[in-house]
Amino acid sequence: MHPELYSDGIDEITVSGTIVRVDLVSLSPTERDSNNNPKKVFRQRLIFSVESFANSAEVMQKALEGLVDAGVVKRGQPRVAPVISNSTR
């Protein structure tokens, strides 16, 4: 069996040259922010070439469209957009 990782979402996407880094986060069961919401905790980083990131985004878009068509997800305004930074390293 292959190890699996659960993530509550993406916190930040960083583009540096031809490399894209995607930081996955989970909500802390113990730490809270000033509004008493669970804090985001870094869990793991995915590192892609620009080409493989673009291909992965396309695969995820198709999966999302399938979920929308099935009525599992409703289209609307995103709750919180991930931070996207462009590094020049």
Residue 2 counted as domain residue: no
Residue 36 counted as domain residue: yes
Q: Work out the angle at residue 47's Cα, subtended by the Cα atoms of residues 23 and 89, and round it to the nearest 5 degrees.
A: 90
Question: Would you give per-residue pLDDT tens digits along the chain (89 residues)?
Answer: 888 999 999 999 999 999 999 999 999 999 999 999 999 999 999 999 999 999 999 999 999 999 999 999 888 756 655 666 676 55
pTM of the model: 0.75
Going through the chain in order, the beta strands assigned E by DSSP cover: 9-16, 19-32, 38-49, 83-87
Residue 25 counted as domain residue: yes
Separation of alpha carbons 48 and 76, rounded Å: 28
Residue 3 counted as domain residue: no
* Number of independent structural domains in the chain: 1
Give pLDDT, residue 41.
95
Residue 76 counted as domain residue: no
Give pLDDT, residue 17.
97
Alpha helices by DSSP H, listed for the chain, are 50-69
- Tell me which residue range forms the domain holding 35: 9-71+81-87
